[in-house]
Every structure is written in structure tokens, then in C-alpha cells.
Structure 1
Amino acid sequence: MLPKIDWDFARADIHFATHGLHPYPARMIPQIARRLIEMYSLPGDKVLDPFCGSGGVLVESMLRGRDSFGIDINPLACLLARVKSTPIDPELLMSYWEKLRAGIEKDIIAARFKQIKVKVPDFSGTNIEYWFKPYMIEELLIIKRHLDEIGKEANLGTKKIREFFNVCFSNTVRVVSGAKKREFKLYRMPKEKWKKYRPNVFEVFKNRVNDSIRRMGEFYELFMGNSLKAKAEVFEADTRKMFTKEFPEEARRQLHEESIDLVVTSPPYGDSRTTVAYGQFSRYSLIWLGFDKKVISEIDKKSLGGNTREKNLDSKILIDVLSRISEKRAADVKSYFVDIEECLDKIYKVVKNGGHACFVLGNRTVNRMKIPTDEIIVELGSRYGFDHVATFHRRIPSKRIPWKSSPTNIPGQKVETISKENIIVLRK
């Protein structure tokens, strides 16, 4: 009998060190990652997060002396995960910032007085003018041009510096845009508020940089104080493609069968259309960072359940659930679990015998029917050979996911979605 453990962490600081560098939807709180890492692995072990999001599991693994690997299909998630798990001396960052600040400030003042003309790239098809006023576009372009200059001296060490400042820039894009704050789907603020909205772009960027350097300093100090200098690697890839030629070559070298001691992950809770739209959340950050428009538009389609999938799944619980909801929604739910099953297959293969896989997820509601995702994952996992060790429960104090969703996607009809998380522990 396992002793009762409090998993709520209701008063914990979930934004300490680099955990607070940049918002990201439905993050696993670091305290849960840390506890699972300490319970089911040892210093020197290897940890994998196959849906790594912004990299919280990687940060906690490093601080506990475990090498770690993160996989995500979203380029913004991969950027955030790399920066959050790359310790950089804050004094080095300050030296770069002093030069950057002077150059950016000078050019923004010159642009305001029409002393320089800012070249605007091709933003066609992005609807950027709807979300950003002309002065915002001009000043963001000036900042980005200066950031792009970092590392032109062909010093590989400067890539991590440029990426750090790009994360600060992405945060600035989110703050100054017309998107409603505290929303992860794209909704513009009310018209009257937008008319009066005039943030100082450079001040926002400056505040983001100063706060981020402080947070990186905290992470750097924690990391340097650990005798085990663990490292993290991030792969922009699809976990469903692990062990195939479509998986990056370097990732295939590192993540071979039975190479991982522990998996800790929080997969998407459902398809992006009806739960968290990671692509929508990332869209304008990625546009401003210069990512390919086609890549950006495909993020949600490539997510779990993003495409209709036909396959019979050996889960009595799932079959029963699908029979109780509408045919259209049943197809979406089934597609999600077909994708989850593919991932479970890969996760089982990559974990060593005796190793563990921990999943943190919520059970969402579809057509007023609660989907027992935790039980379905246990059932599907057992088909591959996973034993169910435990399921812990956590009440969510304030996780930024949709608390209310439309049960039939009809505006105005709302139902509570997720108020607690389940932490499933499986053993190979």
C-alpha cells in the first residue's frame, strides 16, 4: 500500500528559475516532474519527455543530475525547451544586452522621428495588421533585425545567446499584440480597448529581457551548484515516427530501443480543435521569428488527433465511451487515441526493462460524457506489456487550460472540462 502523497502543490512557486521564462499552454508544474524523477529514477539515469512542450521536465531532470531528451512537433516549444534547459552565465547575457539595448533604442528613436525607414518583409497571408498596429510592426522589426545580428561572427556559442533573446522577443510579441491576454486561443481584445491600446514596445522588450536574465541567473546558479552536470537535448520531431527514417538521424542515434530509464510527460489532453490549440498559441511568435508559414499552419494538424484515423483499438472502455457520444465527436476522440496508442508502442520500446513511464493528464468531457483517458491509457499500455503501478490524483488550482468548453461545439452551451489531473505510473 503506497502512502498518501499530496500532489496538489497548491501554494508552490511554479515559475521559479527558467520555468517562468515564457508562457505555454497546459504546462506540467515543475514540482510534479521533480517528484516523479526522484521517485522513479536515479542520478545519472536518462529521462525522456516525448511531448516536451516548453521543457519543464528537462529543466527538472538537469537539476536532479539526469540527462534528458525532449521531443515536440512545435518549433516554438522546441525553442523554449532548448533555452530553458541551457544554462548561460547571466553576466555574459548582460554584456550582450548592453550592446543590444543601445543599438535598438537608437534605431527606434530614429524611426519615430522618420530618420530611418524600416523595411517590412512579406507578411502576406498572416493577417498581421489585425493583431499589430503599424508602429508595433515597425519597432518589432527593428528589435528582430538587431537580434539577427547576434552570432553572425560564426561563433557556435552565440547561437544559444541569440535563442535566449529570441525567447524574450517572442514574449514581447505576445504582450504587445492585440490578442486577449490570459487566452491561449487567438481572440482579439474588444474594439474600444484596442483603439486605446498603445504599449511601449521597447519598454516591454526591455522588461522581458531583464526578467529573463534574472531567471536564467537563478537556473545557472542551481545548475552550477550540482556536482552532476547533466545535459538536455531537444528534437523537433514526431514521437509517432520514433525508430523510423522520418525521425531525425541524431535522435535515432540517441533514442534507440531500451535506452531510457524514465519517461515523464504530459501529452495533449485531446485534439487541438476542442482542447488546447498549441498551433494557434504559437502562430504569431513563429511568424515574427521567421519560421515557414506552411510549417506554422500544420502544427495543429500534426498534433495528436489532428487527422481522422481509422483503426480498431483493443480497449473495452474506449469502445463503450465512443458508443455514447455523437458519431462526429466519436471520430475525433478515436483519432486521438489511435495516435496515443502509436506513441505508447514507441515509449514501451524506448524504455529499459524495469523502467517507468509516467503520464500527467486530465479527463476531458465530450458531449457531456467524461472521457476516462487515464483508464484507457492503462488499458492500452497493458497490451504492450506495461504494468500499472499507480494512479495519483491532483486537484488543479489554476492551470491555464479551458475550464469550460462547448459540449457540442455550439456557442453558448458550456460544460466544465478539467478540474483535476491524473498521474499514471506504468512499469515495463
Structure 2
Amino acid sequence: MEQTKQKTKMLNTKQAAIFLGVSTKTIYRMEKKGLLHPIRTPGGQRRFPKHSLETYLNKSREFAAPQNPSKFLVKEDENVYLFNSSELKQKSQTHQRINRLEQIISLGGYSNHNQHYNYNNNIKHWIEEWDFKKYQTKTYTHGFHNYPAMFIPQIARKLISVFSEEKDTVCDIFCGSGTTLVESSLLNRNSIGIELNPLAVLIARVKTTPINPKNLTDKLKFIIDEYESIKDVHPYFFTNIDFWFKKDVINDLTRLKQAISKIPEENIRNFFFVCFSNVVRIVSYTRHGEFKLFRSPNKMTDKFKPDVTSEFIKICENNIIGMKEYVNNIFPHTHSRIIMGDATKDNGIPNNSVDLIITSPPYGDSRTTVAYGQFSRLSSQWLDLLPPNIKDIDKELIGGKNNVNLSDPILDKSITLKFSINSIADKDEERAKEVLSFYIDLNKALIQAHNILKPNKYFCLIIGNRTVKELVLKTDTIICELAENIGFIQQGIFYRNIPNKRMPSRNSPTNEAGKTGSTMLKESIILLRKVY
């Protein structure tokens, strides 16, 4: 009886820290990396089963400091890693780091990240919450790779939970790097994603393909061994490569790409190519903190000496642990299908076959809003992702071509759109054509969405209202007006603040000295239902 009572004894965070001989901050880091797995009280407080702490200690006896993981969990940038980057400069320490990663993986525990979704603790708060400003958004595989205007997973999960059932099929017609698809597999839904950008397709496929993390650590060792064995290398080349990379960085990236390419399994090879893609941007001359391609003056000095292998192992470490969490939380028989295609066209999805569509389309043409193509260019060139006939992916994306007529029939389907185009045309006809081209393509995507969605099912769009020529384009209203002509009915619009935006609160839309305007501060969540 006493033994049973001891096994079920629960410790709070402070007690768990004392038991392990660490600080409470270390407890939080250990939880974040999947080393400890507390349960939550109805009030949201952590409780650690004492027997699980004892199990952790028993399994981690081979660690250099089993009772003090803070000795090897080090915070760099926004992530927590096992060792400082400086330790990777010697070959033995590189392998030591990978060995420690193997030990973390072998512990068997994992995090389910429920605390980062938090709807079980306070249902009223969950219903009212749309900003998710204080929530961790890099859970599971969501943190594998940066991508412009990434969809917040908590919003996707909330909409999927409310508007679909387990075993349903959820579709994202502008799936980007796959947030909706990841959340669908975690909620026991099948998913389909459509995306035209080859780099985003690669990222989405990797994020939704479960791989045994032990296999990944084994292959990481293989990659490093192959990398170190390559002595003579013919440097990779594409136009202006030396404008964006140092010569020694080009050589190191070439060696690393060759090492990854020797992995025979496609899904594992792609996993490491996504890690490689992250490294490409980090070790290039490009600025941090923005998506357009500009060289950083801070990197154009002799002090900028990026370590390709160090950055690669750091990213692999984070992603392998994320994969461990994903593999242990997805439902086993769900599947995700990513189609590299154009959402404005038929992509072979049967009519009336999808139970829910959730998407966050571009807010405008890629050239003048979010530079998806510019962000992807260097990685796409290194990984040979772009077809030979496509030089600028932004021109292929929605609204990329403006060979339209300002009297297009679409203007009769939305009074708001007609007013907006006429107002812009009075100031700049070419700009009006660019804006109209975007809405023509968006309307085509709405028509395709209507075709594949089942009757009486929901279509959820997250969109922002941008400003052109000092006119706020009410895209949410325009979508609702266009949708009603297709066979949807508007069920409501929610509004959310955009936290942590990578843009100033004001800019100069007219390029006139001293004349500024507000940038986009809110998003609209549009709920449509297919009625016929």
C-alpha cells in the first residue's frame, strides 16, 4: 500500500527542482525539450509524478550531469540546444554532441505540448482567444523552417476542432509550409495541401512525414562522416552565388549538400535538405529578421565567419527532437497529401470530397506584399527546386501577372471591389491592374474550393486588409461578396490582432517625404458555408 502511494505521489515544480537538484528554470527547459512530462491541474499548474522523475534519473545515468541537464542545455537565439556552438569546432566534440542527442532521444519521453494550446483549462478563454500572443507556436514540427507569414497552429487547431470531426479530410488550398496539415494529423484528420512554391512543398512534406528519430540521428552521424571525408570539391555554382556567399562558405555548403545527397531514403534525405535550407540563409549575406533579399552590412566584414557544420547540427538537433514529439503524438492511420499545384486550377481532388477547408491566402500579389519568392530563392537554387522555365516564382503565384482589363466582369460580382479598383485607377491604372489581377486569381481559387468542398461544410479563410494608394482594400468584404455568387453563405467574421509583426506600425505608402500610413494590424477570420 505504501509503495502504491509513493508511486502516485505528485510534486509541484519547486519540489521537482529540489528532487533533481536543479533550478525551476531548468525544469521548464527540460519540459520544453521533452525530458520531463508534467500533467496539468484544472488551474493550469504543473504536477510531476515522482516515479517519472525517478525513471528519468535511472535512464540518464550515462549523462555527464544526469541530475543537472542545464550543464548541456544551452540557450542560443530563441532555441535551447545541448551544447554551445563553439564546442563544435573540433571533430570529437561534434560527434559528442550527436551522441548526447542520441541519449536524449533514447530516454523515451516526449512532450505533447498541451500547455501551448490550453483549451482544456479554461474553455471561456479558449473561445475568446484569437491572438495567441503568449503562446508557443514552434511546437512539434512547426519550428522546422522559417517561412513568410506562417499560419499560427493554435488558430488552425481551433478551427479544425470546431468545424470537423475525427477521420474527416481537411484541405488547405494555400498550404505554405504545412501548418494546417500538421495540426490535422495531430487531431486525427486526414489532410490535403496545395502549394505552388517548391520550397514550401518540400518543407510541408517533411513536417508531415513521420520518421523514427533514431534513424535521423544515425543518418546525421553518416552525413558528418561523409562531409569530413570530402577533401576535394568542385564548388556549386549559380548566377551571383558569390554575391550572397563567402567562397569558403560555398565550399562547405557544397560538401554538405553532397554528403546529404548520399542518403538513399528520400524522406530522410528531404528531412536533412530542409535543415540545409535553413543553414543556407543563416550563412549567407542576407539580413536577418526579414524575408526580402538584401545584403546585411554587418555580414560584409571579416568578422562574419559562419560555421556551416555548427549551424547544421544545431538545426538538426532542434528538428530531430521536434520530430520525436510529432511521431509520438500523431494518430497512426492519418495521412497527408501535398500537391505542388496552382490553387486557381483543378488539381485532381474529387468534387464534394473535402469536409473542411482552412487557408490563409496571400494578402496581395507576392511582388508588393510578402516576398515568398525572394525568401525561397537561395534555398531553391542550392537544392535545384525551380523548374528551368521559371526564373521568378513570385510571377507564378496568385496575382503575379497583371495582363487584365479594368472592365473585367468580376467587378459586377463585388460592389466593394468595383469601388476599390476605380478609386485606385483614378491615381494609377497600372497599379489598379495589379490589384485586380490578384482578386481575379483569388476568385478562381474560391471557385475551385467550392467544387471540392462537401455541401453544408465550412470554408475558413484568414486574411488581412492591406492598403494601396492610401485606400484600405476590404478584402474580407470582397471575399464574402464574391463567395455568395459562387454558392457560399457568410456565417461570420472574427477579428484578431497580429502580434509580433515583422514590419513597422507605420510606413510610407506614397513615398512622399513625411507622409505615412498605418500598416496591417489586424486579420479577419472569415467563416463561409457551402449551400449549393
Q: TM-score, normalised by structure 2?
A: 0.72
Alignment pair present for 1:148 and 2:148 = no
Q: Structure 1 residues 411 and 385, CA, compared in 2 at 3 Å: closer, same or farther?
A: farther
* Structure 1 gap ranges (5+): 108-115, 152-157
> Does the CA-based 8 Å contact 1:270-1:305 persist in structure 2?
yes
Quick check: 1:133 aligned with 2:249?
no
Which AA in structure 1 matches 2:172?
Answer: D
In the TM superposition, residue 321 of structure 1 has moved relative to its aligned partner by 1.3
In the alignment, structure 1 residue 198 sits paired with structure 2 residue 305: yes
Structure-2 residue corresponding to 1:319: 418
- Going from structure 1 to structure 2, the CA distance change for 1:410 and 1:184 (only over 3 Å counts) comes to farther
**Is the alpha carbon distance of 1:404 and 1:127 closer, same or farther for their aligned partners in structure 2, counting shifts above 3 Å?**
farther
> Distance in 1 between the 2:380 and 2:135 partners?
31
Identical counterparts, % of pairs:
42
Of 128, 146, 168, which aligns to 1:45? 168
Q: Name the counterpart of 2:342.
A: 238
Equivalent pair of 1:287/1:293 in contact (CA under 8 Å) = no
SS of alignment partner, residue 419 of structure 2:
helix
1:117-132 maps to which residues of 2 (within 5 A)? 117-123=232-238, 126-132=239-245
Structure 1 match to 2:183? 60
Give the Cα–Cα distance (whole angstroms) in 2 for the partners of residues 57 and 405 of structure 1: 31
Residue type matched to 1:118 in 2? Answer: V
CA distance in structure 1 between the aligned counterparts of 2:158 and 2:409, rounded to whole angstroms? 36
User: Partners of 1:345 and 1:402 in 2: how far apart?
Assistant: 35
1:197 to partner: Cα distance: 1.0
Alignment check: 8 A CA contact 1:266 1:361 kept: yes
Larger radius of gyration: 2
Aligned to 2:223: 100
Tell me, in whole angstroms, the C-alpha distance in 1 between the residues paired with 2:163 and 2:434.
Answer: 34
Structure 1 292/397 Cα, relative in aligned 2: closer, same or farther at 3 Å? Answer: closer
Displacement, 1:417?
A: 2.2
1:291 is displaced (CA, Å) by 2.5
Counterpart of 1:353, as a letter, is P
Determine which structure has greater relative contact order: mean sequence separation of CA pairs < 8 Å that are 6+ residues apart, divided by chain length.
1
Q: Which moved more, 1:405-414 or 1:5-14?
A: 405-414
Gaps of 5+ in 2: 1-123
Q: How many positions carry a matched residue from both structures?
A: 398
* 1:168 has 2:269 as partner: no
Q: Deviations over 1:221-272 (max 9, x none)?
A: 111xx3x621101011001111xxxx4xxxx1xx111010100000000011
CA–CA distance in 1 between the matches of 2:506 and 2:526?
24
Contact 1:169-1:205 at 8 Å conserved across structures: yes
Counterpart residue number, 1:113: none
Q: Distance in 1 between matches of 2:515 and 2:205?
A: 40
Question: Matched residues in 2 for 1:420 and 1:41: separation?
Answer: 26
1:298 to 383, 392, 408: 392
State the secondary structure of the residue aligned to 1:23: coil
Q: Is the 8 A contact 1:83 1:160 kept in 2?
A: yes
Tell me how far 1:5 sits from its aligned partner.
2.0
Deviations 1:54-88 (A, max 9, x none): 00000001101110000111000000000011111
Distance (whole Å) between structure 1 residues aligned to residue 389 and residue 141 of structure 2: 27
Aligned to 1:34: 157
User: Structure 1 CA distance, aligned partners of 2:329 and 2:192?
Assistant: 20
**Contact 2:198 / 2:386 at 8 angstroms: preserved in 1?**
no
Q: Does 2:328 align with 1:221?
A: yes
Check conservation: 1:286, 1:296, Cα contact below 8 A.
no
